[in-house]
Structure 1
Amino acid sequence: MKKLLLTTVLAILVIAATAQEPRKTFCEIIGTGKVLSSKVKIQIDFGQKTSYFGKYKTFMVDESGKEIEFNSMVDAMNYLAKFRWKFEQAYVVTNENTNQNIYHWLLSKDIVSDDEIREGIITQKDFEDMEKAVMEDKENYNEKVEKKIPLFMRNIKKESDKENKAQKRYEP
């Protein structure tokens, strides 16, 4: 009986020790109206460090890399609500030179791990980084495949490529 009780208590302590408490994280969405359009361009800021040129790559894009246009700030908020973001606060800044309103909305989300922060959200910079990684993987894959081909066959392949190029040059 004592062993069972001790085992149960230890199991509960282990579970309690490994359970992570959610913590609140924030992001800001910045909406600017498009010229001659009722649509809004949304930039998203997770508090990350960006370079001078990198700040222009914080617009949200879809899986194909095309910039997502929202009908309004509320439309953008509804989109982000799918990923558990909650509205906290909003304010508007008017650019004196262009007389354009820039909308700032502060959002929050309860997370357990940092992987959950960007869940479902892709910025232009993220998309470019993913494309670059895919291209590097392809290049590395081609090098690995090339290395698997025996040396004498690689030389044969290169010679036949040269012959094909020379042949194409002289064809009408």
Structure 2
Amino acid sequence: MKKLFTALSICVSFFAFSQTVNDVPIRDIDVDYVQIIGTGRSLSTKVNVEIDFGQETKSISFKNGTSIKDERGRNMKFNSMMDALNFMSANGYSFQFAYTMNDEKDQAIYYILKKNK
């Protein structure tokens, strides 16, 4: 009985938390469109991915409110923008279009996604 209870507790804990942005589960964001922004990291093959759904961010805060957090509250790491796009697709969003922006220091890739209804 203890083993069953332990296994059930572990399963419930996995489903009790989800990936979030500003402490809002990605699936529960109440908007039609979101934008994911990917920027490269120096000395790494991974990309930084942030999400913009029109949320208010605190400019004074040192915490980045636009990063996607995992179940433990840590910033998620993506291998590429395609990895991020597949993640968002699994969370109920579909790709609409993409564009890039270059400045002197960085290049950013922007994907516009629509929430599936």
TM bucket normalised to smaller: 0.5 to 0.7
How many angstroms apart in 2 are the aligned matches of 1:63 and 1:45? 19
Superposition CA RMSD, Å: 1.7
How many angstroms apart in 1 are the aligned matches of 2:76 and 2:57? 21
Provide TM-score, normalisation by structure 2: 0.67
Which is richer in helix?
A: 1
Q: Greater Rg, structure 1 or structure 2?
A: 1
Q: Which runs of 5 or more residues in structure 1 are unaligned?
A: 1-23, 112-172
**Alignment pair present for 1:61 and 2:69:** yes
**Bigger RCO (CA 8 Å, 6+ sep):** 2
Structure 1 runs of 4+ off > 6 angstroms?
none
Q: Which runs of 5 or more residues in structure 2 are unaligned?
A: 1-30
Partner residue in 2 for 1:104: 110
Partner residue in 2 for 1:151: none
How many angstroms apart in 2 are the aligned matches of 1:70 and 1:110? 22
Q: Could you report, residue by residue, the CA deviation over 1:118-164 in whole angstroms, capped at 9, with x for unpaired residues?
A: xxxxxxxxxxxxxxxxxxxxxxxxxxxxxxxxxxxxxxxxxxxxxxx
Provide TM-score, normalisation by structure 1: 0.47
> Identity, % of aligned pairs?
38
Which is richer in strand?
A: 2
Post-superposition shift, 1:51?
2.6
Partner residue in 2 for 1:36: 43
Post-superposition shift, 1:83?
1.3
Partner residue in 1 for 2:59: 52
